[in-house]
Structure 1
Amino acid sequence: MISATAMAILATSCVGTKKYQALQADYSSLQGRMNAIGQENADCQSNLSSANVKIAGLQDQLRAERANAQNLQASAQSLQAALDKCLTSTSQGNVNISKLVDEINSSNKYIQQLVNSKNKSDSLNMVLTNNLTRSLSREEMKDVDVQVLKGVVYISLSDNMLYKSGSYEISDKANETLSKIAKIIMDYKDFEVLIEGNTDNVPISKPNIRNNWDLSALRASSVVQALQNTFGVDPKRLTAGGRGEYNPIASNDTPDGKAKNRRTQIIITPKLDQFMELIDKAPEPDSTVTPPATTN
């Protein structure tokens, strides 16, 4: 590079002042451009260094993201495997649940059949009870208890209503009630009828009556003969029996209990074919007919 002193000597010796000044100006301009270029180069170097730092950071971030992606992929595969296992278990569980539902439905059908049978049986009982009590007055119902158990009718008559005191002879006031019961028996002409006498446990001492066995049997026989001779019931359908004091329905320790045990039962039993016919005629379970209160 030419020094300033050399330039000055050259200028003095070779060119004029104006030419020198022009060269000097060109030199200054060139020098300024060179300085600017140097600054720009320095800035470029600085920017390059910054860019290299950013690139290195982005490369580190890229490597981290790639590693994270691999972890996520591994997690996704693990979750997929777990889901497949769960779906398999769920499928098996659905099969078990389906079997359980079938079993429950089967049980419900069986329970419904039992309910329907019970409703039909209750309806049959209601039909028989209504038929037997339709003509009895409220006053008569105080001495008459009607129960229907499994198609068998039990009509319990108190001894106070049926017999004279301490006797086995039918009282006059019993005839009206017996006539109504006889009409029902006649309506069901193919039913078997058992007349059963019962007493309390108080010993009896009367001529020709040895004990409560005799008394209960004689009272049952009196009702049978009244049904046959007075009300025209076919004697072939009738059976008289005595159970003495050995079929109590209450305690004999109280007067009220003794009174309940002193009774005569008329037991009306349908034959199998009549029983099935009654079931077919029984009203539906949702019938609006309200059955009278009975003790089953």
Structure 2
Amino acid sequence: MKRIVLALSVLGLLSTSCGTKKKIAELEQKNKECQDLLNSTTVKLNMCLSEKESLSSQIDFLKKNNADLINNVGNMTTLTHQGAQNIEKALETIKEKDLKISRMQDALTKKDSITLALVTSLKSSVGISDPDIEVNVEKGVVFISIADKLLFKSGSYLVSDRAKEVLAKVAKVINDKPTFECMVEGHTDNVPFTGNAVLLDNWDLSVKRATAIVRVLTKDLKVNPAQLIAAGRSEYIPLVANNTADNRSKNRRTRIVVMPKIDEFYEMIEKEMKKPAK
């Protein structure tokens, strides 16, 4: 009977791991799409700036050409009608490029403002300034890293009371952003886990810690479960080398990844580009 129970437990963990890997893959794909869109927008913005510079050079040439005609003849009548039209067309083209550049910059600024507001909310919360809690932004994604000593006892996945105080502040920010997605990642050091009836290795430990945090966020702190993904990364994404006790302590952490959905960012840019000219 004990063997059957153990087999069913392992099967359950494997099923959970498969589901988690799929969620991780989906989130990483969304993150890649977001970065691709950012890169594409930046390329278009640089092209517009380059075209504007080229058109400005053309205007300077036309102005110089007309100035030479005026100086040679000494009469404004030498400024031909065609020359005036060329200048007018060039100026109109520059205005259009400026409008496109302005709208792209507005969309990017709005997206950056949302991210900045999120980081400010986290850092201004009481306790978020703790040295064992780091909040930073990379490529438009907010990362909250919490040292395991604030969350769990060694080798355990039971969330401490101190951790619930910290997670309550994080939950408040997440609840204020109902359209954002959050992935809770468990990370361990490289010390092999000896295993027991529930946990087999560091993979199991990292996943169980992630799901434990998700349960606190959803059941105790009322975060929408549809916003959350639980993921275990085991020992394979260390912050520093696992060659000292202090370094291993830094690598044992839980990271919460908060990011806007890719379709919202795309709609933001599309909306700006469709605004009528003033």
1:143: how far off?
1.7
Query: Which secondary structure state, in structure 2, belongs to the residue aligned with residue 146 of structure 1?
Result: strand
CA distance 1:235–1:107, change in 2 (3 Å) = closer
Identity of aligned residues (%): 42
TM-aligned CA distance change 1:203 to 1:238, over 3 Å: same
Deviates more, 1:218-227 or 1:127-136: 127-136
Instruction: Please tell me the residue identity of whatever aligns with 1:174.
Output: A
Q: Residue 220 of structure 1 is aligned with which of 197, 210, 214? A: 210
Alignment counterpart, residue 126 of structure 2, candidates 132, 136, 147: 136
Counterpart mapping for 1:1-296 below 5 A: 121-137=111-127, 140=130, 142-200=131-189, 202-208=190-196, 209-248=199-238, 250-255=239-244, 256-272=246-262, 274-275=264-265
Instruction: Report the AA paired with residue 138 of structure 2.
Output: L
Tell me how many residue pairs correspond in the alignment. Answer: 196
* Distance change >3 Å, CA 114–CA 233, structure 1 → 2: closer
Q: What amino acid does structure 2 have at the position aligned with 1:233?
A: V
How far apart, CA to CA, are the structure 2 residues paired with 1:204 and 1:113? 53
Following TM superposition, by how much is the alpha carbon of 1:118 offset from its aligned partner in structure 2, in angstroms?
A: 6.2
Residue aligning to 2:64: none
Give the conservation status (yes or no) of the 8 Å contact 2:184–2:229: yes
User: Per-residue deviation at 1:273?
Assistant: 5.6
* Contact 1:195-1:238 within 8 A present in 2 as well: yes
**In the TM superposition, what whole-angstrom CA distance separates every residue of 1:99-150 from its partner, at most 9, and x where no partner exists?**
xxxxx9999999988877765554333212112222133653x121112234
Contact 2:184/2:255 (CA < 8 Å) preserved in 1?
Answer: yes
CA distance in 2 between counterparts of 1:136 and 1:276 reads 34
Amino acid at match of 1:265: R
> Relative to 1, partners in 2 of residues 1:105 and 1:186: Cα closer, same or farther, differing over 3 Å?
closer
- 5+ residue gaps, structure 1, are 1-103, 280-296
Using structure 1 for the length normalisation, give the TM-score.
Answer: 0.51
Contact 1:193 1:239 (C-alpha < 8 Å) held by counterparts: yes
Hey, what's the Cα distance between the residues in 2 that align with 1:261 and 1:277? 37
The alignment's TM-score, normalised by the length of structure 2, stands at 0.54
Q: Which amino acid aligns with 1:194?
A: M
Distance (whole Å) between structure 1 residues aligned to residue 236 and residue 214 of structure 2: 21
CA distance in 2, matches of 1:176, 1:121: 30
Contact 1:179 1:231 in 2 (8 A): yes
Indicate the SS of the match to 1:246.
Answer: coil
Counterparts of 1:270 and 1:232, CA distance in 2: 20
Q: Which amino acid aligns with 2:252?
A: R
- Report deviation, 1:251: 2.5
Over the residues paired in the alignment, what is the CA RMSD in angstroms?
4.2
Distance 2:268 2:118 in 1: 9
For 2:211 and 2:231, the matched residues in 1 are separated by: 7
Asked whether the equivalents of residues 112 and 140 of structure 2 are also in contact (C-alpha less than 8 Å), the reply is no
**Structure-2 residue corresponding to 1:22:** none
Contact 1:151–1:275 (CA under 8 A) maintained in structure 2? no
In the alignment, the residues of structure 2 paired with residue 106 and residue 254 of structure 1 have an alpha-carbon distance, to the nearest angstrom, of 58
- Structure 1, residues 203-255: CA drift from partner, whole Å, max 9, x if none? 3334432221111101101101111121122223221110111122x322443
Q: In structure 2, do the counterparts of structure 1 residues 247 and 155 end up closer, same or farther at CA, with 3 Å as the change threshold? A: same
Structure 1: how far apart are the matches of 2:106 and 2:205? 44
CA deviations over 1:62-111 (Å, ceiling 9, x no partner): xxxxxxxxxxxxxxxxxxxxxxxxxxxxxxxxxxxxxxxxxx99999999
Secondary structure of the equivalent of 2:240?
A: coil
What is the Cα deviation at residue 266 of structure 1? 1.2
Amino acid at match of 2:193: S
Q: Based on CA coordinates, which of the two structures has the bigger radius of gyration?
A: 1
SS in 1 for 2:161: coil
